[in-house]
Structure 1
Amino acid sequence: MDEFSAGVAVCEKLEAMEQGIPRTRAEFQALGLTGIEFAAFRTDHPNGLGTDLTPLRSAVAVSEPGTLYRVDGDRCFTQLDVSRPLPFEDGAVDWIYAEHLIEHVPLNVAMGWLKECHRVLAPGGVIRLTTPDLAKYLAGYVQEDGFLARHRRRLSKLGFGPPMPDRKAFLINQIFAYYGHRWIYDQAELTYVLTEAGFDAEAVRLCSYRVGLHTEIADLDTAFRSDETIYVEARRRS
C-alpha cells in the first residue's frame, strides 16, 4: 500500500506557501478554506485543505510536514499524520471528508482521530466517512448474491490491486488483509466509533453514493469504490 500511495502522490506543481498551516477559523477563512479532506493529495473541493501522511512530490519539490503547499496552482495541501493530534484549533472548519481512510488504521487510532475531528469541527459541522462495508462482503459470502464476483471483475477490469482468484474465501480475506487494512466497519461499528468520539448517535445517518447533507461534500465520492462502500455522515451538535 505504501508503494501504491507513493505512486499516486505526484503533481505537476508543488509550491510552499509563505503562510503556515491554518490553525484558527479565521486563518482558514483567510485562505478561502472551509473544510478538510483527509487522504487527498489534491482535493476536488475548491475550498478544501487536502492532507495525507505520504509526501506529495513534483519534479522539483517534495512536501514536508508543517508546511502548507499550493498544488497545481489551485488547491491547498499539507502533510498530516492522523495518529497524532491535529494542528487546528477547536471549531476551525465546517466539514471533514475521508474516503477509505479509517480502515487503514487500528481501531484506537481511528477513535483518537475522530475525537480530533469532532473537536476541530464547528458546531453544526459535518463529517462524511466512506469505507468498505463489512455487511456487503459477509452477505455476499453467505447469500451468494453475486457481489463478490462482481467486485472481483470490477477491480480486475480497473487493474486495481493484485490479481484475485475467483474463490469466496480469498475475496473475503482480501478485504481484511490487502491494501493495508486494519479494521473493517459496518454501520453499527461506524456509529459506535463516532459516538465514542463525541457525536450524538441520533446525528449519525446512513447515506448513499454522492447523496448527503451537502452536495459539494458528497460529490467528493469516487465511483470506482461505490460498489463496496458504506457512506455515513454525522453532524456536530450545535
Structure 2
Amino acid sequence: MTEQAERFPGWDWDDPDGLAPRLDAFSEQVATCDTLEPRPGGLPHDHADFRELGITGIEFAAFRTAHPEGLGTDIATLRSPGTATEPGTATEPVTATEPGTLYRVDGDRWFTQLDIAEPLPFADDSLDWVYAEHLIEHVTMPVAVGWLREARRVLRPGGVLRLTTPDLARYLVGYATGDGFLAKHRRRLTTLGFGPPMPARPAFLVNQIFRYFGHQWIYDLDELRHVLTEAGFDPDRIRPCAYRQGARPDVADLDTAFRTDETVYVEADC
C-alpha cells in the first residue's frame, strides 16, 4: 500500500458524491476559535448600532474577519473549546454559535451566524462595505441574486460591494491552451492537505471546479455583471479589479494571496 493510500484510505477523486462528506468534515475543522463571548441585546440593526460597536462593514464566509471594523459571518456554526454555560449568563464564554446572536471572537473580532438565502436582519443603509471571497459560487443563481439584492439594500449611499470567485474563463483558457494554469492550480490545491493529489488530467481539473467543494454555479466577469445587474446595481458602476486593488484599500486588502491564480475580482458601488 502506498503512503497516500494509507493516509487517505478509500479516497477516489473520480467520485465527487462519495467524497462530499470527507470534504465537508475538512471544512468543519476550520470553523473553530479559542473563545466565543455572546453579546447581550441581540444583533445590531441600523447604522448607529453598527457604529457604536465600531463596525463599518460585513465580510461574508468569514469566521474571523481580518478587517478590524468588520463583522464576520457564515452559515456554519463556529465552535470553541470553552465551557458551555446556562442561558442568562450571556457574558460568559460558550462553545458554539447560534443564529440571532452577536459574538466576540477571540476577544477582538465580531461574528454572527447568517444564511445568505434569507433576508439580512439589518436596516437599509446600515453599512459602508460588503465583502465576500469565494462565496457566490456555493449557491444557486436565484439565491445569489437575492443575497446581492440584500447586500445592496444594507449598503449606504457611496458604499462598495467587493466579490471574488473562481474565474470560469481562466479554467477554460487553461484547458484550451495548455498554458500551465491547471497544473499550477493542482499543485496549489495539493498543499491544502485534505486528500491525495488530484489527478493531473485537464478535463478532471476543469470538472472539479464544478463538482467539488459544494459549488453550484461558476462565474466569469460577464456572469457576475449579470447577477449584480439583476440585483439592482447600476451596470455602469460595476467594474473588474485586480488583486488587492479597489475603491477601498482596507476592503481590497481582505483578498487572500492563496487564491490569486484562479480568481476574478469585481466591485460595485451604491
Q: TM-score, normalised by structure 2?
A: 0.85
**Cα distance in structure 2, aligned partners of 1:103 and 1:161:** 22
Deviation string for 1:79-101 (max 9, x for gaps)? 00000000000000000000000
> Displacement, 1:18?
1.4
- Look up the match of 1:90: 124
- Look up the match of 2:217: 183
RMSD: 1.0
User: Does the CA-based 8 Å contact 1:155-1:161 persist in structure 2?
Assistant: no
- Look up the match of 1:124: 158
Q: How many residues were matched structurally?
A: 236
> Displacement, 1:159?
2.5
Deviation string for 1:27-75 (max 9, x for gaps)? 0001000000000000000000000000001112100000000000000
> Displacement, 1:3?
1.9
> Displacement, 1:23?
0.9
**Cα distance in structure 2, aligned partners of 1:125 and 1:224:** 27
> Displacement, 1:6?
1.3
> Displacement, 1:144?
1.1
Q: How does 1:205-220 map to 2 (within 5 A)?
A: 205-220=239-254
Deviation string for 1:122-148 (max 9, x for gaps)? 011000000000000000011111111
- Look up the match of 1:232: 266
- Look up the match of 1:8: 30
Among candidates 94, 103, 107, match of residue 69 of structure 1:
103
**Cα distance in structure 1, aligned partners of 2:49 and 2:194:** 38
**Cα distance in structure 2, aligned partners of 1:175 and 1:147:** 13
- Look up the match of 2:74: 52
**Cα distance in structure 1, aligned partners of 2:185 and 2:157:** 38
Deviation string for 1:136-170 (max 9, x for gaps)? 00000111111111111122134256531110010
| 1:41 maps onto 2:63 in alignment | yes
Aligned to 1:206, the other structure's residue is in SS state strand
- Look up the match of 2:11: none
Q: Give ranges in structure 2 of 5+ residues lacking alignment.
A: 1-22, 83-94
